[in-house]
Amino acid sequence: MGLDDHPVLDGFSRGEVPKQALAELEAAFGEHDIAFDDVIVRTHALGTDIVGDASWTEFNDGDSRTVSRRVRRTFMFFHRPETTLPEFSIQAKRGVAGRFLMGITAKLVGMPSFELEDEPAFNDKFTVVTANPESVRVLLVRDMVDAMVRIENLNLAFLARGLLFTRHPGVYRTTRTNDIRVSGQQQDERVDGKDRLHFIEDAVAVCSPVADDPDAGRRAADAVEGTYAEEAFKNLTEQGGLAGQALKKMILTPEMLAHLEQHPVPRMDIPGPVKRRAWGGTTFPLVILAGLGVAALTVGIVIISGGGGGVAWVLLLAGLVVCVVFGFLLRHRMIRKRIITNGRIVPGRISSVEKTDTSVNDDVIHKITVQPQAAGEETVVAKMGSQPAKAARRMMESNQPTWVLVDPDKPSRGLWPHGWTLEAMSD
């Protein structure tokens, strides 16, 4: 896209996504191999406006003709590092069946229902996915709602540090869209040519009422008691759905943190959420692997004992492979359990948060590095999911003190329990 004299491009220049905004975008897209191309950037007093094309790899089912494809999508990100917004999304509704399924899913999960009062056009066209309805209502001001109703074809994600605007790939109600171009190895949702200028115009019209208002985050925060995380936790747990039940089992309370920090080693009576977070998640995979490994080895040995071959040796090899995987999982489990029960408390500050090439259940694992407070001590690395990593990044930005539990057998390895607390769930 050429940077011509079109007013919507005033102040933009070609460049790369700034480092601080890059971390926010990577977390928002949640893809381990995300890349950004054809980027233009505009910097001003409130932050940075970024337009570009994001691309990542998506994998299909094993029986699909195409195993993977590269998805490309145009975005505009309004990065506002000095604000703190509740995190939620606004999605265009897709047909009667899609709306019905979304409603059933929301009830099952326990997500609070959300509609704007006296806004039938908005409610008919969009679904607001949020556990923070009270603070969200404050953000959806008149100009923003009117702009969304006019444009219709959009996905809008409110992030803690800004707004992310994209087109909805499955809904085309205006002429300001390009068709999705799908080939065997690529799904191209980029917006090109004059449509790209219209895309930027639409994004600015929708997002600027909040993005260009430095007090928007404060007003949303003042609309509820406590933090956004406390508002979401209260709403989800009161709904009685799956999300609320899971949160109750997984979120660490301040009392649990104090138990870990103050209890002498070996720590006894480990709270349930700590166990589940640290090592309990491996229980089911270990049981399944143990059963599969034993079954494969047993059948293979029985067949070989009876004079058979061929398939028996394949079963034996498969059983051995499963046993090796079982061993790695068991070792991982025992290491994390050892850190919880016998780990040494090391106060410090977070010095870096980096994503790895590993994902667990499509959640990118991050490497959180803590610089100990005491001089001369080795830095400690904790590997955790994307949500704790986001909380760690916030603490790093504000230089807040924290602490880690350090593996007694390997001082450079540890766990960061603060990443499992309600405060780390969202800003």
Q: pLDDT per position in the chain (427 positions), as tens?
A: 555 667 888 899 999 999 889 989 988 888 778 999 999 999 999 999 999 999 998 876 554 555 678 889 999 999 999 998 998 899 887 654 444 445 545 555 556 678 888 899 998 888 888 888 899 999 999 999 999 999 878 899 999 899 999 987 654 433 444 456 666 677 888 888 888 999 999 999 999 999 999 999 999 989 888 888 778 777 777 766 666 667 677 788 888 888 888 888 898 888 888 888 888 877 877 888 888 888 888 887 877 777 666 777 788 888 888 888 888 889 988 999 999 999 999 999 999 999 888 877 778 889 999 999 988 889 999 998 888 888 898 889 889 999 999 999 999 999 999 988 877 766 5
Residues 116 and 51 placed together within one structural domain of the fold: yes
Domain end position, chosen among 307, 339, 371: 339
In a domain, 253, yes or no: no
Residues 320 and 349 placed together within one structural domain of the fold: no
Domain limits at 356? 345-424
Domain end position, chosen among 339, 361, 381: 339
pLDDT value for 182 = 60
Dihedral angle, C-alpha 122, 197, 204, 40, nearest 10 °? 140
Domain end position, chosen among 191, 222, 253: 222
d(CA 339, CA 266): 10
Q: Residue 37: exposed, middle, or buried by beta-carbon count in 10 A (0-12, 13-18, 19+)?
A: exposed
In a domain, 169, yes or no: yes
pLDDT value for 181 = 63
In a domain, 1, yes or no: no
Residues 155 and 294 placed together within one structural domain of the fold: no
Total domains in the fold of the chain: 3
pLDDT value for 183 = 61
Q: Residue 3: exposed, middle, or buried by beta-carbon count in 10 A (0-12, 13-18, 19+)?
A: exposed
Residues 115 and 74 placed together within one structural domain of the fold: yes
pLDDT value for 362 = 75
Residues 108 and 196 placed together within one structural domain of the fold: yes
Contact in structure between 228 and 87 (CB atoms under 8 Å): yes
Residues 67 and 183 placed together within one structural domain of the fold: yes
Residues 43 and 165 placed together within one structural domain of the fold: yes
Residues 305 and 276 placed together within one structural domain of the fold: yes
Which tokens belong to 308? 């058979």
pLDDT value for 95 = 55
Residues 90 and 26 placed together within one structural domain of the fold: yes
Q: What are phi and psi of 408, to 5 degrees?
A: -60, -25
Residues 214 and 290 placed together within one structural domain of the fold: no
Residues 58 and 207 placed together within one structural domain of the fold: yes
Instruction: Name the maximum alpha-carbon separation found in the chain.
Output: 82
Residues 296 and 406 placed together within one structural domain of the fold: no
pLDDT value for 207 = 96
Which tokens belong to 258? 């104090």
In a domain, 257, yes or no: no
